């Protein structure tokens, strides 16, 4: 029995050592790539203006995000000869409309329009919001930009240049958090500009699989048409990741430019930070399960302590000295990455380091909490992620308001009590007109 336990312990120790070495590669390669790519000015696009293809920029809006005026105005200031801007809102009373109208008045020379009213094609509100603009796009090249990011004037030209290379199906940009104002936004920056940045850029450099976040994505409409068009992705919560994966499976690869998608973090609260992180961990559980299960072992604390035990067991390395070296390397890597992506971080060193420590300590409890649930909240609505591997239309359930006409009242009561299984099957035909859609069953997969 002791021999068996010794063997299992040795195998586990070797696995933890290998995982630690892998993370050191991510730290080293990620730091190097970001320093090389993002510490100097980006080159101008080599495309001649006379031959540059047209681009349709889609910017779906809902409410007034932090720094929305500057975010949207960065689209109007692109140094590119031929493009159109299409802004879309679902609600005619959306406050973002006023900002868009002001910008269109300020930049009359830019081909821009605002579409009010969405298409109820499926459960994803972002896809529903974008669809009319997507279908009416003048140009084959589509650039989807989230409302909470801004980009540099040369970003469009450099992105089109990359997309024009043979075998390239999608161009995307590294998300970067800037201008934090609260503890929650500093936590978000400590995640985006360190752990997320080095993993994202290294995985995309190795390019063994699709790895795309939908802050800023450019692709061809004709390519997506081969995959059923944008409307085909309305049933997914993470349509950006699924689209990227589908394009990859066509044999077309992804490219990143040296540009970043600047996300103004503003006054994000601490609870909102944890909700946001939990939402994406929970969604990834249904899209990339293996990677999500591995995630805690890629964080500095769990990775470091497991490796310290393993190196001590196999090589008799001092645990305390190993941990000192481990955390010194890790935080040095993260500091270099964070200050390269946002030089203002140097002026806020104490706040950054405090946020970094809190984020690292909270990573494992947050992951456990996120993995235990199946609901996510997005833009004020609650979404239910279905564990069933079959693809089927989602069922929409409204707030319980007494007069709501629902055949299965017991099912709704179960939702209120939190006792309904995520695999509960309710047909859309069993629902009548229900006010204020609140809960959506979204097909997921392992």
Q: Which CATH number covers residue 146?
A: 3.90.550.10
Q: Is 207 a residue whose pLDDT tops 70? A: yes
Q: Which is the catalytic residue, given 240, 259, 334, 342?
A: 240
State the average pLDDT over residues 162-186: 97
Quote the pLDDT of residue 401. Answer: 29
Q: Which residues is 114 bridged to in the sheet?
A: 87
Quote the pLDDT of residue 386. Answer: 66
Q: Cα–Cα distance between 124 and 20 in angstroms, integer?
A: 38
The full DSSP string for 394-420 is --EEE---SS--BS-HHHHHHHHHT-S
Confidence at 444, pLDDT banded by 50, 70, 90: very low
Asked if residue 326 is part of any domain, the answer here is no
Average model confidence (pLDDT) across the chain? 86
96, 104 Cβ separation under 8 angstroms: no
For the chain, how many structural domains are there in total? 2
Residues 6+ apart with CB under 8 A from 287: 238, 241, 242, 444, 445
Q: Are residues 263 and 409 in the same domain?
A: no
Whole-structure pTM value? 0.85
Q: Is 333 a residue whose pLDDT tops 80? A: yes
Q: Are residues 93 and 213 in the same domain?
A: yes
State the average pLDDT over residues 25-43: 90
Asked if residue 195 is part of any domain, the answer here is no
Q: Are residues 244 and 384 in the same domain?
A: no
List the domain range (segments joined by +) for residue 230.
48-183+207-268
Q: Cα–Cα distance between 362 and 397 in angstroms, integer?
A: 33
Q: Is 224 a residue whose pLDDT tops 70? A: yes
Residue 154 exposure: Cα atoms within 13 Å on the Cβ side? 13
What's the order of all strands across the beta sheet hosting 437-442? 375-378, 381-385, 437-442, 396-398
Q: Is 405 a residue whose pLDDT tops 50? A: no
Based on its alpha-carbon atoms, the radius of gyration of the chain, rounded to whole angstroms, reads 23
439, 415 Cβ separation under 8 angstroms: yes
Asked if residue 30 is part of any domain, the answer here is no
Write down which residue in 215, 239, 268 finishes a domain.
268
Asked if residue 176 is part of any domain, the answer here is yes
The H-or-E segment that residue 73 falls in is helix 68-76
Quote the pLDDT of residue 41. Answer: 73
State the average pLDDT over residues 220-240: 93
Asked if residue 141 is part of any domain, the answer here is yes
Q: Are residues 255 and 385 in the same domain?
A: no
What's the order of all strands across the beta sheet hosting 141-145? 111-116, 83-89, 55-61, 141-145, 216-220, 168-180, 253-266, 149-150
Q: Are residues 109 and 258 in the same domain?
A: yes
Q: Cα–Cα distance between 429 and 164 in angstroms, integer?
A: 46
How many residues does the structure list for the chain? 446
Asked if residue 98 is part of any domain, the answer here is yes
Helix/strand/coil for 259 = strand
Taken in order 218, 221, 227, 230, the sign of the CA dihedral is: positive
Quote the pLDDT of residue 417. Answer: 34
Output 153 or 393, whichever has higher pLDDT. 153
Write down which residue in 247, 268, 289 finishes a domain.
268
Asked if residue 331 is part of any domain, the answer here is no
Ranked by mean pLDDT, which of 263-277, 383-397, 427-441 comes out on top? 263-277
Confidence at 251, pLDDT banded by 50, 70, 90: very high
Quote the pLDDT of residue 418. Answer: 35
Q: Is 240 a catalytic residue?
A: yes
Asked if residue 118 is part of any domain, the answer here is yes
Quote the pLDDT of residue 71. Answer: 97
**Among 14-23, 38-47, 264-273, 385-394, the least confident range:** 385-394
Q: Are residues 254 and 137 in the same domain?
A: yes
Write down which residue in 268, 288, 314 finishes a domain.
268
Only one residue has tokens 């359930």, namely: 397
**Among 44-48, 340-344, 375-379, the least confident range:** 375-379
Q: Are residues 385 and 250 in the same domain?
A: no
């Amino acid at each position: 029995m002791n021999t068996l336990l010794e063997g299992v312990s040795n195998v586990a120790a070797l696995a933890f050592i290998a995982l630690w070495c892998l993370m050191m590669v991510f730290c080293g390669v990620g730091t190097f790539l970001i320093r090389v790519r993002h510490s100097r000015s980006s080159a101008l696009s080599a495309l001649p203006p006379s031959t540059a293809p047209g681009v349709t920029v889609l910017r779906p809006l809902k409410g007034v995000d932090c720094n929305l005026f500057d975010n949207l105005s960065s689209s109007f200031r692109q140094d590119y000869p031929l493009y159109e801007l299409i802004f879309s809102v679902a609600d005619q009373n959306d406050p973002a409309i006023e900002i868009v109208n002001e910008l269109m008045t300020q930049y009359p020379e830019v081909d821009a329009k605002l579409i009010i009213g969405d298409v109820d094609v499926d459960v994803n509100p972002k896809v529903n919001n974008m669809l009319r603009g997507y279908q009416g796009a003048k140009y084959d090249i589509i650039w989807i930009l989230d409302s909470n990011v801004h980009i540099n004037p040369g970003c469009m030209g450099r992105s089109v240049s990359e997309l024009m290379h043979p075998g390239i199906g999608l161009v995307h940009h590294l998300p970067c958090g800037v201008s934090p104002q609260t503890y929650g936004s500093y936590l978000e920056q400590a995640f985006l500009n360190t752990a997320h940045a080095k993993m994202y850029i290294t995985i995309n450099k190795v390019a063994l699989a699709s790895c795309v976040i939908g802050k800023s994505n450019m692709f061809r409409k004709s390519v997506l048409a081969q995959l059923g068009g944008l409307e085909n992705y309305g049933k997914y919560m993470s349509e950006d990741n699924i689209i990227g994966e589908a394009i990859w499976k066509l044999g077309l690869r992804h490219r990143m430019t040296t540009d970043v998608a600047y996300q103004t973090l503003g006054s994000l609260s601490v609870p909102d930070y944890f909700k946001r992180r939990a939402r994406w961990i929970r969604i990834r559980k249904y899209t990339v399960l293996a990677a999500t299960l591995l995630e805690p072992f890629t964080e500095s604390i769990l990775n470091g302590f497991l490796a310290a035990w393993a190196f001590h067991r196999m090589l008799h390395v001092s645990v305390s000295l190993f941990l000192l070296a481990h955390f010194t390397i890790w935080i040095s890597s993260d500091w270099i990455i964070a200050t390269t992506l946002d030089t203002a971080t140097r002026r806020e060193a104490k706040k950054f380091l405090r946020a970094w420590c809190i984020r690292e300590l909270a990573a494992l409890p947050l992951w456990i909490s996120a993995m235990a649930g199946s609901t996510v909240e997005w833009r004020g609505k609650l979404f239910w992620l279905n564990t069933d591997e079959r693809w089927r239309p989602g069922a929409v359930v409204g707030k319980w308001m007494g007069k709501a006409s629902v055949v299965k009242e017991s099912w709704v009561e179960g939702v209120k009590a939190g006792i309904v299984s995520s695999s509960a099957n309710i047909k859309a035909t069993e629902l009548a007109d229900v006010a204020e859609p609140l809960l959506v069953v979204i097909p997921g997969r392992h």
